[in-house]
Structure 1
């Protein structure tokens, strides 16, 4: 691993990223062909928070948060810090003091494959966090890593400046070149869902709206009365 801190990488348009986040992770994920979801392990420490920002990445050694300190300097208004380690680590690399510094710089939240601590303080501060664990285990500041280099989180490549969306449903990466197409696709999906919602409220079934009765028939699914079913099981 090259030990490097990359300064001022290209970023997705922040206004567009903010707009995209408003659609929610699930809608954008579906609209973009179910791509970019950062795995199932990242969960929010708070409820009801939806954010979007541009990624600043920090690659740390396990149990060592030196590069988070270095990453704070590279953060600016509208960023979202993404932290991972060279091998799995659930130690509490991030806490309330980091959040205080990042909030001062206008950072919108943290996504980390590690653990976090000071959870009650983070909630009280209103600093959104999505993490793989909560742990009081402390760390050292001893080993060089990298800042603003591409990292892999949940099987997805995250580059500095990519859009990161996060809410109660999870965390999503949208490549910075795809934010505008994500906006268009998400709006189209939202309109499609609105039409379906109206139809369901009026009593239509998904089986009929989506042509699923034919699918069930093709798959050999039969309708049996309870009496017929009992006879077949006898």
Structure 2
């Protein structure tokens, strides 16, 4: 592993068909299908509603209060990517705004996930550029400190490697390792099929207690059924 600032230019990316399939499923389904792993922490939130994107990660590691490496990273982005930015120590300064979004939108980048702050939120929404951030904060940044592009980073508790699949929607952000993308697509497909069968059954009046076989567990845990009169009287 190379020490010090570095820009990796030839990352391997997840298969585009797998990225599209995971994007259709969305964050909650993908997270569950992957064994309830991969979630970015809830401090990183969407600045818009009713948006869902999936893309391959181009990762950026910046110094706090400094967006130099985002400028460097734009050149490494291509259509279908999603920019993922974090800092070497916590910072919510407004490192990303309209001009970055304009440049990335022109390159076919699908959005940004960042632990930093963003600004120009109205302009980003007007442009249709999807963004998930640690804050909305107008504080400006400098361009003075080296960092890295396309190295593994940790974003609000989630490990993101360059080329991984990042899915983001109103529920949050989830990261799928590139090597597991096809496996997770298959698991998500199976989960959706099962949920559709459940949905049909519930619409017909079935109870989840029965469909999921939970009644024996309720008994095992000592959960008791009683009338109101029994409860008020304190009887078993």
With the shorter chain as reference, the TM-score category is: over 0.9
In the alignment, is residue 63 of structure 1 matched against residue 65 of structure 2? Answer: yes
Give 1:102's match in structure 2, choosing from 93, 101, 104.
104
Per-residue deviation, residues 112-165 of structure 1 (Å, max 9, x unmatched): 011100000000000000111100111000100110000011222100000111
Task: Report the 3-state secondary structure (helix = DSSP H, G, I; strand = E; otherwise coil) of the residue aligned with 1:49.
Answer: coil
Q: Residues of 1 paired with 2:36 and 2:46: CA distance?
A: 20
Using the size of structure 2 for normalisation, the TM-score is: 0.97
Per-residue deviation, residues 97-122 of structure 1 (Å, max 9, x unmatched): 00000011110000001110000000
In the alignment, is residue 87 of structure 1 matched against residue 89 of structure 2? Answer: yes
Give 2:170's match in structure 1, choosing from 144, 168, 171.
168
Q: Residues of 2 paired with 1:84 and 1:120: CA distance?
A: 22
Task: Report the 3-state secondary structure (helix = DSSP H, G, I; strand = E; otherwise coil) of the residue aligned with 2:181.
Answer: helix
Task: Report the 3-state secondary structure (helix = DSSP H, G, I; strand = E; otherwise coil) of the residue aligned with 2:234.
Answer: helix
**How far apart are residue 35 of structure 1 and its match?**
1.0
**How far apart are residue 227 of structure 1 and its match?**
0.9
In the alignment, is residue 149 of structure 1 matched against residue 151 of structure 2? Answer: yes
Q: Residues of 1 paired with 2:231 and 2:93: CA distance?
A: 54
**How far apart are residue 218 of structure 1 and its match?**
0.6
Using the size of structure 1 for normalisation, the TM-score is: 0.97
**How far apart are residue 15 of structure 1 and its match?**
2.3
Q: Residues of 2 paired with 1:224 and 1:115: CA distance?
A: 53
Per-residue deviation, residues 17-67 of structure 1 (Å, max 9, x unmatched): 012110111111111111111111111111111111000000001110000
In the alignment, is residue 114 of structure 1 matched against residue 116 of structure 2? Answer: yes
Moved over 6 A (4+): none
Q: Residues of 1 paired with 2:196 and 2:17: CA distance?
A: 25
Task: Report the 3-state secondary structure (helix = DSSP H, G, I; strand = E; otherwise coil) of the residue aligned with 1:74.
Answer: coil
Q: Which residue of 2 aligns with 1:210?
A: 212
Note the residue ranges of structure 1 that are not aligned, 5 or more in a row. none
Q: Residues of 2 paired with 1:55 and 1:129: CA distance?
A: 14
Q: Residues of 2 paired with 1:40 and 1:225: CA distance?
A: 41
**Mapping for residues 188-203 of structure 1, pairs under 5 Å:** 188-203=190-205
Task: Report the 3-state secondary structure (helix = DSSP H, G, I; strand = E; otherwise coil) of the residue aligned with 1:84.
Answer: strand
Q: Residues of 1 paired with 2:142 and 2:166: CA distance?
A: 28
Q: Residues of 2 paired with 1:33 and 1:16: CA distance?
A: 18
**Mapping for residues 30-45 of structure 1, pairs under 5 Å:** 30-45=32-47
